Structure 1
Amino acid sequence: MGKILESLQNTVIAGFVLVVVVIALMTKGFAGVDFDPAFFARYIHVLAGVMWIGLLWYFNFVQIPTMPSIPDEQKPAIGKHIAPKALWWFRWGAMFTLLSGLWLASANGYIVDALTLAEGTRSIGLGMWMAIIMWFNVWFVIWPNQKIALGIVEADADAKPAAARKAMLFSRTNTLLSIPMLYCMVSGQNGGAGW
């Protein structure tokens, strides 16, 4: 078991193997299992969304509030090692969440209705629009500014605090949007109060 759990790659592979075992057990050896693209899209969407929103909340509930109390000599470990790796997973979690969500809406035949906020899809559509804004913020505001703040790209020393603040404010905007976005997504699929 140590060989599996000591390696993240092996742990993730084992997780997917376990999913296959669970499916086999639930379906009595895959009897009558049909590949449903919409279900697969939903599974990928939720998996990627957990990565994205989990990291968003990690940054906003843990890393940002803790940074002022970290001794200055220890801060480079965060900025040079932890934050860039976390931001990589954050960006790609956002991308896969968006793409799989659009795939899901397309596979279920409601993508146009949702994006135009047609009756019956307004809740999920509003959630989609908030998620699109959040994705845009990640790729076109937060990440470019984090690259400056973390010294990944060359910039004047004066630009770093301004970039860090802008990245933080847009990250907080995404945290704000994540709460109603998740409500819209869940209510749109599960009969919550919606419109």
Structure 2
Amino acid sequence: MFELAIVWEWAQFAVRWLHVVTAIAWIGSSFYFVALDLGLVKRPGLPEGVSGEEWQVHGGGFYHLQKYMVAPANMPEHLVWFKWESYMTWVSGFLMLVLVYYGGADLFLVNRSVLDVSAPIAILISLASLSIGWLFYHYLCKSPLGKHTVLLMLLLYVLLIFMAWGYTHLFTGRAAFLHMGAFTATIMTANVFFVIIPNQKIVVADLKAGRTPDPRLGKEAKQRSTHNNYLTLPVIFFMLSNHYPLAFATTFNWVIAALVFLMGVTIRHYFNTVHARKGEPNWTWLLTAIIFIVIMWLSTSPRMLTSENPDTAVAPAFEKFAGDPHFDAAKQIVSTRCSMCHAAEPVYEGIHRPPLDVRFETDSEIASRANQIYLQAGRSHAMPPGNVTGMTPDERETLVAWYRSSVSGKKNE
């Protein structure tokens, strides 16, 4: 029979794989249609209602694409709807949030030195922030301010900065950045689900009923699509950030998040301008590099790294690991084989910061990572990397015995 820890680990892997696959599909189609839309050319002789056309070559064939600003006079028999890529990206991402951050809330979500709340309360805060944030954004777009494109984008940016600041005052740094990705992705998918697709369906229904579609519906959908276009790259950054503590575990992590959104704008501005055949604004790459250098400085100078791990008492959820009879032996192994890298000041050559900001210098830090130690060094040989510190099979068995004893409550193994 499979152990829960093994099943849980593979479930995370499967959902993460699904998330990556669906995200590739969504982002790929999104970027393609934005480039197509910007590259359309108005030529004489186009059918009535066509705003532009584009000729493309791919896979050994030529494609002739035309865009109707509202809709064609007669509906085609078959329409391809691009929506499930977005929906499944969000669903799989939410499942990842549940499996990793809700399932491991005491370790990955709650930072009691920031906000001392229970895991269920932290999860409720997380869920509320995702839904309330979308509603605020949605009605901001629906308000008279929504008619002013630049002003609306600035207000959206202020909202994102506020959420970044707020999340870093609610959760661990890693969870704060993950939630910024989830918050932004929720806005993007909700735009598709509540605005873009419904508006298109109304247009289709009007055409079938012989009514003239309202051009406002297309403009509203286009506005939301534009927002999605500029938010995509920051979402990818935040989803990758959990591997880089210099991004999420620093004093000014919320400022870094704010700058990441600016980089998303500068990069997309370059590609959007090129695809629209309006030149090559290479200055955007210089500006992006400058912003990235500022981010690097904010994360390292002066020394501002903050610990995500408890350094005093063991959290109640992990007391069973620190109180197990096998703990002293496991602690000795971890201190001998792992702490040269996983310390505030690593001594292993070439390692200047503890990988993933994971430290094994106190009972609390070791006990709180029992599950990861078991999977990474007990059941697998992922750690130490290349077994550079020479962890023996017997030592790995001791780590397994410690974890199993703690979980089962049987102290005589």
Question: Superposition RMSD on alpha carbons, in Å?
Answer: 3.1
Q: Is residue 2:93 matched to residue 1:119?
A: no
Given the alignment of the two structures, is residue 42 of structure 1 paired with residue 16 of structure 2, yes or no?
yes
Candidates 90, 100, 110, aligned match of 2:92: 100
Of Structure 1 and Structure 2, the greater strand share is in 2
Instruction: Return the alpha-carbon distance in structure 1 between the equivalents of residues 46 and 242 of structure 2.
Output: 46
Matches within 5 A, 1:1-195: 36-62=10-36, 64-69=37-42, 72-73=46-47, 75=50, 84-85=79-80, 88=81, 90-110=82-102, 113=109, 115=126, 117=167, 118-120=171-173, 121-148=175-202, 151-154=203-206, 156-157=211-212, 159=214, 161-191=215-245, 193-194=247-248, 195=253
Q: Kindly provide the amino acid, as one letter, of the partner of residue 187 in structure 1.
A: S
Distance in 1 separating the partners of 2:92 and 2:195: 22
Would you say the 8 A contact 2:206–2:213 is kept in 1? no
Go from structure 1 to structure 2 and tell me whether the alpha carbon gap of 1:36 and 1:158 turns closer, same or farther (over 3 Å shift). Answer: closer
Q: CA deviation at 1:182?
A: 1.4
Tell me the residue number matched to 2:326: none
Point out where structure 2 has 5 or more consecutive residues left out of the alignment: 1-5, 51-64, 69-74, 110-122, 130-166, 254-413
The Cα shift of 1:84 comes to 4.0
Q: Please tell me whether the aligned partners of residues 127 and 180 of structure 1 are also in contact (alpha carbons under 8 angstroms).
A: yes
**SS across alignment from 1:36:** helix
Quick one: which amino acid aligns to residue 234 of structure 2? P
TM (norm. structure 1) is 0.67
Larger Rg: 2
Q: Distance in 2 between matches of 1:41 and 1:158?
A: 40
Report the TM-score, using the length of structure 2 for normalisation.
Answer: 0.34
What is the CA–CA distance in structure 2 between the aligned matches of 1:66 and 1:181, rounded to whole Å?
25
CA drift at 1:176: 1.3
Residue identity over aligned pairs, in percent, reads 26
Alpha-carbon deviation of 1:158? Answer: 5.5
Check the 8 A contact 1:38/1:104 in 2, yes or no: yes
- The count of corresponding residues between Structure 1 and Structure 2 is 155
More helix by percentage: 1
Q: Which amino acid aligns with 1:38?
A: Q
After superposition, the Cα gap between the structure-2 partners of 1:99 and 1:142, relative to the gap in structure 1 and judged at 3 Å, is same
- Cα distance in 2 between the residues matched to 1:158 and 1:99: 32
